[in-house]
Structure 1
Amino acid sequence: MHDLICTSVTGIASSYFVVGETYSADEEWRLTTPNPDGSLALWTVEGNMIYGIVGDHDSEVLAKFEGL
């Protein structure tokens, strides 16, 4: 597990992450957050960031994290 603290958030991710909150990613750097309908949203953290398109580091950065 990887504990991460959110340091910035933009766009659609603003509905899922809070700056200053701690999130736990699994060993493959995936984490989940609740959707408004009760289901889970799956996110992939790459280099302490979540990108708009997984694997495309030229796409919009939606959230940034620091490791604890």
Structure 2
Amino acid sequence: MRGRLEPLIPFPERRIRFPGRKRADDRAALEGVLYVVRTGIGWNRSPAALLGASGATCWHRLTE
């Protein structure tokens, strides 16, 4: 399954001069999106400690 999902995960390049905050793990964000879709809970109610990314982060990655 991992081989099928790899093309769907974007790989943005970090800026060199002003990199800003490090991006959350793409795999954790994808798992968060799938968790919300499977369970039907709201984005802000998703368990960040369990998934590794907040619901807002997962939602932003989905819209990307």
Q: TM-score range by the shorter chain?
A: under 0.3
User: Higher relative contact order at CA 8 Å, sep ≥6: structure 1 or structure 2?
Assistant: 1
Q: Which has the higher strand share?
A: 1
TM-score, normalized by length of structure 2? 0.27
* TM-score, normalised via structure 1 length: 0.27
Question: Looking at CA atoms only, which structure, 1 or 2, has the larger radius of gyration?
Answer: 2
